[in-house]
Structure 1
Amino acid sequence: MRRLWVAVLVGTVLGWSATAIGEAISLTVTARAVRGGVNSALVQWLEDLVFPAFVQWMKAQGKDVQVEFIQFGGSDEALKQQYALDLKVGKGADIIGFDGFWIPEFDAAGLVKPLDEVVGPQVWEWEGWAYIPQGMREILGYKGKVYGLALGTDVRVIFYRRDIFEKAGIIPAGSGLRWQPRSWEELLNTARYIKKVLPDVIPLQINAGTEMGEATTMQGWFMVLLGTGIHMYDFESGKWYGEHPGILEALNFYKTVYIDEGLGDARLQLIPGARARTFELFRDGKIAMLVEGDWFWRSVLAPGSEWAIPNRNEVVDWAMMPAKEPGAGYRSQNFVTISGGTGFILNPNTSHPSEAWALLSFAFSREMQLEFQKIQPRIRSRTDVPVVGDPVMSEMAKALLPYTTVRPMLPGYPQISYQAQLVTERVVSGLMTPEEAMAAYAEALVELVGPENVIRKK
């Protein structure tokens, strides 16, 4: 590892200084990753780059530290069960690869603790916090506390076909100008115009229905609902929104797109294999605008995929999803998005909390994260880490990480997410009016979490 890194990192990256001790320290890290198998890039990065550099850095501080990665190739559920068994008896690796969805359950059982309770208040002295927005902290957070660091994340945007926009005259051909709606009305007006001048093109698809699964919740429901100013969950009161003007506005948006004006194809959201069919139609230039995650760009449309577009960079562009009106979005934002992701937490049973935090924060330094980008480029939790080799992804990260939020990290979320998918399906299929669908949604929430945990109209 280059000595330059050691010189740069000493005393600056970690925000603490180690003191020499007379015995060797052994640290372990585990995650669902196997060299040559699942998440192989993670093992490569840690074992070949992070660990050697960290050991060298600690040696310069007078500490003899050895680090080992414990590979796990089983399922996520098997790993979760192993963690529960280990933590209950005070064992397990010092640093643990963790899914944010597990934190509420493990916290309720007293098995995990926030970073500052494991390490102490000095954890907040790390320079990296200045580059990790609140939304990124929430990926491995719960009830306002931060339990770990998110390794990678994603964002959601409106992907659009530049060639269709140019053909319709929305963007002058060859101008390099970009389209960016500032409100729902501007977005809908664009869709209306495309329908008028290019009747063979589906203007706008935004995910709805149970066939799409969680893609409906994340790429559809959240992207509309956040634009009304609310989340699915009110973090202040600790209650789920069951009936609210924002929910009705969101459902009416779906009704406008799929029922009233036919700006999207409702059947396409409900048929078996709906998502794959949507990808196919976008690839073939039959869909003008599609709300999707950045995975759509870096995987679905990328070379080698069955939906790849050879001249992707010339004919595909993206725009931020606007709030209903400027300033009307969640947290009074002009634009909205939502992220998911996994990362690492500290084992509260570690015998070396300071050194474990030193290793974790070292791995999440800008220098080490940039090295990971060379192996597996994607959006990272730090805003100062671009996506190497992909300026489009880098631009998305820079523009959208400050706007992002996360799903409620609560045990009841999966069932409520399904109800969100169902409420959109009832509207886009014409089975219920938005008012009827909202009432049914609220009743389902009451059954799932109890009336005391649901916000309803007075």
Structure 2
Amino acid sequence: MAGAAVSSCGGGSSSTDPQRNAKARTFTLTIARNAIVGGKNDAEASWITKTVIPGFVAAEKAKGLRVKVVYHGYGVDDDAYKTKTALDLKSKAGADIVSLDGIWVGEFAQARYIKPLADVVGARADSWDGWSQISPSVQQLGSFQGKRYGIPPSTDGRVLFYNKKLFARAGLPVNWQPRSWDEILAAGRALKKLPGVTPLQFDAGTAMGEATTMQGVLPLLAGAGAQIYSGGKWTGGGAAMKQVLGFYQHLYGPEGLGDRKLQQEAKGRDKSFEEFANNRIGVLLEGVYLWRAVLNPKDGIARMPDRDQAVGYALIPAVAPGKGVQGRSFVSMSGGSVATVNPHTKYPQQAFDLLAYLNRPDVVKARIAGNPEVTSRNDVNAEALKNDPFLSFVAQKVLPVTLFRPGLAAYTQVSTALQEATAGIVAGHSPDDAAGQYNGKLEGIVGGAGNVNAG
């Protein structure tokens, strides 16, 4: 996630006309993304230039319209892309269709750099037929304060990966679905009897960076019944956070169900991938990335030839059934990008046509051809992922219970404070002490106790 902050005093016109230039017969539209042919995110850039643009131009020509679409591709660090995009939008410039990391949506909305789609293009933004194919949970990725700001093209999810071979050796079921944290810990204790095996790996500490937050604290916090930001307040070091840190203590405290040293190494996460692939970690909380890019038998960075047979996956349970956020028994966290219409476009109706085209089922299927991924569309997932049991599991079981990070400027600092709290547990501090230190840091970050929910 990029860390550059957006000023809350940003510009943006106070009102716009969604119908301006709606009857134009000749026009030019632009698309901007941090993807460049032959470089960063090459597949996405190639899809836009070779499939989207010629397809949209042809479709518009069939309606008697003369359209030109220009692609502005970048291949830079996410921070640099975020800064450029913010400056463009602040100065009422930039592309007609802009891609943002979902974590930036709230920040950009508060700065008034982007506006709700319904404000930019009118009622048709909410009547788009594609919304019926995007789960309400996934729509959160492009929403802020109950309003849609853009369309998420795809997403991911976090699950518990486990090694079936180690489970069999430990006398555990190879078709495993824990229903509480106690059941996870029980599996860890059984796995601890196997020599040379780390039972449980939940990212902790600051060396893991954002992975600690997304692959550890936030899903556990949701399982304890809280979200890091809800109702205008940030969750402090109360009961829910202490439950999370108490779980970490089982792993990295005296019971030793996890590897403390791994959490402190600069490349600890990469090492955890290698150890899991080499049958030395029993359970690893990770995202879709682990399956698709790390363990992939063909070209993974830690290839696991027998991945499909040896690796199981399960939903992340709440601390106990029905005790998760919103009464859920299972939880997850997801991320992804969002495409939105620049509020300063000269052609809001035409720009929305292009945005809708980008998310049309056949166009989305063309994007993931040969490299399946979990898209935001249920209809595409049902067809494109039918022969991929894992991605189907994520699409059907994980997305309905997933949550997203708050897209607010303070989040980056809050995330660091969460990482430091888990680092305290790894260093031997008690959950109460780590929670208290976190709460003090949080109040300093978000402007005092009045912005913190004691939890």
- Fold conserved between structures, TM > 0.5: yes
Count, aligned residues: 430
1:272 to partner: Cα distance: 3.1
Q: Is 2:52 the counterpart of 1:41?
A: no
CA separation of 1:30/1:323 partners in 2, compared to 1, >3 Å: closer, same or farther?
Answer: same
Task: Return the alpha-carbon distance in structure 2 between the equivalents of residues 335 and 271 of structure 1.
Answer: 30
Indicate yes or no: 2:354 matched with 1:359: yes
Alpha-carbon distance between aligned partners in 1 of 2:24 and 2:162, rounded to the nearest angstrom = 61
Uncovered stretches (5+) of structure 2, i.e. residues with no partner = 1-20
Shift, 1:20, TM fit: 9.6
> 1:22–1:231: structure 2 CA closer, same or farther, 3 Å change rule?
closer
Shift in alpha-carbon separation, 1:390–1:201, aligned structure 2, 3 A: same
- 2:426 is aligned, of 411, 424, 428, to 428
Q: How high is the sequence identity, in percent, across the aligned residues?
A: 40
1:179 aligned to 2:176? yes
1:19-418 aligned within 5 A:
21=23, 23-171=25-173, 178-196=175-193, 198-234=194-230, 236=231, 238-302=232-296, 303-374=298-369, 376-386=371-381, 388=385, 390-418=388-416
What CA deviation, in whole Å up to 9, does each residue of 1:375-421 have, x standing for no partner?
54322222222355643223222211111111111101111101101
Equivalents in 2 of 1:137, 1:88: separation in Å? 25
C-alpha displacement at 1:58, in angstroms? 2.5
Shift of residue 160, structure 1, vs aligned partner: 0.6
2:22 touches 2:348 (CA, 8 Å); kept in 1?
A: no
**With structure 2 as the length reference, what TM-score do the two structures score?**
0.89
Report if aligned partners of 2:25, 2:64 keep a CA contact under 8 Å in 1: no
Matched position secondary structure for 2:372: coil
Following the alignment from structure 1 to structure 2, what is the Cα–Cα distance between the partners of residues 405 and 273?
27
Q: What is the Cα deviation at residue 184 of structure 1?
A: 1.2
Contact residue 21 and residue 63 of structure 1 kept, 8 A: no
TM-score (norm 1): 0.89
**What displacement does 1:295 show?**
0.4
2: CA distance, partners of 1:138 / 1:335:
18
Contact 1:45 1:375 in 2 (8 A): no
1:8: which partner in 2?
none
Contact 1:259 1:428 in 2 (8 A): yes
1:224 Cα deviation after fit: 1.2
Q: Secondary structure at the match of 2:87?
A: helix
Whether the 8 Å CA contact 1:99–1:140 is kept in 2: the answer is no
In structure 1, distance between residues paired with 2:309 and 2:208: 28
Paired position in structure 2 for 1:456: 454
Matched to 2:317, the amino acid is P
Cα distance in structure 2, aligned partners of 1:89 and 1:46: 26
Distance verdict in 2 for CA 1:349–1:311, change over 3 Å: same
**AA matched with 1:293:** G
- Structure 1 residues without counterparts, runs of 5 or longer: 1-18, 172-176
